[in-house]
């Protein structure tokens, strides 16, 4: 696609040629005045796969029918349910199966992983993260530092952009890592920053962290299901992600975690629970904890089947669509959104500043727009016309056309509504 056009015919022609277009019909779209909304918040809560209801019903029926015996007798036996999700989850982030486990929720997983991977020692006490990480991550880092007797004001360091810039340059991240050197215990970045939509260079950050003897971990909340990743090859030490954003698995659904192979079976300190115990003799109920030789060692509790039922449906869609095809479409679709925003800004003489990188390699699906002098009023006008986008204080509108279910026509319709709202 060499040039984009701001016409319905162009958008429909792109949809006609899109090999993933049929996935749209596999999702429920909220309605506005009898029309599906222009849903641009898959980065916040992905839409519901239509197959989710049957998957849930299956587990409810098996529970009704078998009671506790469902652990063995259910169509998907509950005892090993989480294992059925591992291969898909590992494909999604580019990991070996033993490196991945589906468990808990995101911030919980971050804490459990920090227990193992943030162990300040002597001079090496600092955590380096991106400017303005998601608040939950800041709370987790600060509380872990305090838990170890440190002062978050001193030991939690954010890489700041240069004066007048919104984004971080990889060279500046690496320079900061080198500067902190042997004071650095952990570098923990988002895969994609939730606010700016900037995708960080995970392999470069990992390599720089390792060079100074620090651990490299990643919060992939906005990267899982959005970017193509190779966590194993990139050598990241650990990662975690949620499943309700790009992974369409429902509000507060089960999350994921990655621990690199080189850390498995090494007796790393961890907070233990019975589901992390070697499954061969988990039910011997022995006194001594014997960890699984895989990432499952970090599991604490028995796994929530109802939320995994939805997650399995969603992961199966990712397997069918494939991250390569999703990412190829995503680059085109988000490029189209950038073109539409630029076109409408010119037509209406408005200053709509996209702070997300223009280079597709440095972003995922999301664009973050600073609407100078418009702000909340513009956002409310879009909402009133059937666009679901996302407002973040102080003045950013975030939009993510999601390749799994958004169409080029959605983006075109967004453009007409934006123009209406601005004139």
Ligand X SMILES: *Cc1c(COP(=O)(O)O)cnc(C)c1O
Residues forming the site for ligand X (CB under 6 A): 105-107, 134, 136-137, 190, 194, 219, 221-222, 242
Q: Which is nearer to ligand X, 190 or 401 (CB)?
A: 190
Q: Which is nearer to ligand X, 190 or 217 (CB)?
A: 190
- Residue 275: which of 33, 103, 128, 402 has the closest Cα? 103
Least Cβ distance, residue 216 to ligand X (angstroms): 16
Least Cβ distance, residue 221 to ligand X (angstroms): 3
Least Cβ distance, residue 239 to ligand X (angstroms): 11
Least Cβ distance, residue 251 to ligand X (angstroms): 10
Q: Which is nearer to ligand X, 23 or 189 (CB)?
A: 189
Q: Which is nearer to ligand X, 48 or 307 (CB)?
A: 307
Task: Show the tokens assigned to 375.
Answer: 């702000």
Q: Which is nearer to ligand X, 117 or 336 (CB)?
A: 117
Task: Show the tokens assigned to 422.
Answer: 């601005």
- Residue 246: which of 400, 89, 18 has the closest Cα? 400
Query: Phi then psi for 87, rounded to 5 degrees?
Result: -60, -45
Q: Which is nearer to ligand X, 194 or 412 (CB)?
A: 194
Least Cβ distance, residue 252 to ligand X (angstroms): 7
Least Cβ distance, residue 343 to ligand X (angstroms): 30
Residue 145 parent element (H or E): helix 135-147
- Report the Cα 82 to chain-centroid distance in Å: 19
* Burial zone of 102 (CB within 10 Å; 0-12 exposed, 13-18 middle, 19+ buried): buried
Q: Which is nearer to ligand X, 125 or 222 (CB)?
A: 222
Give the pairing type, strands 100-103 and 255-259: antiparallel
Least Cβ distance, residue 105 to ligand X (angstroms): 5
Q: Which is nearer to ligand X, 6 or 44 (CB)?
A: 44
Rounded CA separation 178/268 (Å): 26
CA distances from 61 to 245, 306, 344 (A): 28, 12, 51
Residues 261-285, buried b or exposed e (16+ Cβ, 10 A)? eebbeeeeebeeeebbbbeeebeee
Rounded CA separation 268/260 (Å): 12
Least Cβ distance, residue 400 to ligand X (angstroms): 12
N- to C-terminal Cα distance for the chain?
Answer: 30
Place of tokens 């960080």: 200
Q: Which is nearer to ligand X, 58 or 136 (CB)?
A: 136
Task: Show the tokens assigned to 148.
Answer: 């170890």
Under 8 Å between Cβ of 351 and 345: yes
Place of tokens 């898909």: 88
Rounded CA separation 336/339 (Å): 5
Least Cβ distance, residue 103 to ligand X (angstroms): 12
Task: Give the start-end residues of each E strand in 279-403.
Answer: 352-354, 367-371, 387-388, 390-392, 396-399
In DSSP terms, which residues pair with 188 in a beta bridge?
Answer: 217
């Amino acid at each position: 696609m060499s040039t984009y056009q701001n016409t319905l015919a162009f958008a429909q022609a792109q949809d006609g040629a899109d090999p993933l277009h049929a996935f749209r019909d596999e999702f429920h779209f909220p309605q506005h005045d009898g029309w599906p909304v222009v849903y641009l918040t898959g980065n916040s809560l992905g839409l519901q796969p239509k197959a989710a209801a049957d998957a849930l019903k299956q587990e409810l029926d098996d529970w009704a029918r078998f009671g506790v015996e469902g652990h063995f007798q259910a169509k998907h036996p509950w005892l090993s349910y989480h294992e059925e999700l591992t291969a898909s989850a590992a494909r999604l982030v580019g990991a070996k199966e033993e490196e991945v486990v589906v468990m808990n929720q995101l911030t919980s997983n971050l804490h459990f992983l920090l227990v193992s991977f943030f162990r300040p020692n002597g001079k090496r006490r600092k955590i380096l993260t991106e400017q303005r990480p998601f608040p939950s991550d800041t709370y987790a880092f600060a509380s872990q530092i305090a838990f170890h007797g440190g002062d978050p004001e001193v030991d939690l360091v954010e890489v700041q952009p240069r004066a007048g810039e919104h984004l971080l340059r990889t060279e500046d991240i690496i320079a900061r890592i080198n500067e902190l050197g042997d004071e650095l215990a952990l570098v923990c970045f988002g895969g994609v920053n939730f606010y700016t939509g900037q995708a960080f260079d995970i392999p470069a950050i990992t390599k720089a962290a390792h060079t100074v003897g620090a651990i490299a971990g990643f919060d992939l909340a906005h990267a899982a299901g959005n970017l193509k990743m190779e966590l194993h090859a990139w050598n990241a030490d650990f990662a975690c992600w949620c499943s309700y954003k790009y992974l369409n698995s429902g509000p507060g659904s089960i999350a994921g975690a990655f621990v690199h192979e080189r850390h498995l079976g090494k007796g790393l300190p961890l907070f233990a629970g019975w589901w992390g115990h070697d499954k061969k003799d988990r039910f011997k109920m022995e006194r001594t904890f014997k960890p699984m030789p895989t990432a499952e060692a970090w599991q604490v509790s028995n796994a929530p089947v109802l939320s995994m039922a939805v997650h399995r449906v969603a992961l199966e869609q990712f397997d069918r669509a494939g991250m390569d095809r999703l990412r190829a479409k995503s680059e085109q679709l988000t490029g189209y959104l950038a073109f539409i925003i630029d076109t409408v800004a010119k037509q209406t003489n408005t200053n709509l500043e996209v702070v997300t990188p223009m280079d597709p390699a440095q972003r995922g699906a999301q664009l973050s727009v600073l609407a100078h002098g418009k702000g909340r009023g513009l956002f409310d006008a879009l909402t009133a016309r059937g666009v679901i986008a996302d407002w973040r204080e102080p003045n950013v509108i975030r939009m993510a056309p999601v390749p799994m279910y958004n169409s080029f026509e959605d983006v075109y319709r967004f453009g007409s509504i934006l123009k209406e709202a601005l004139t």
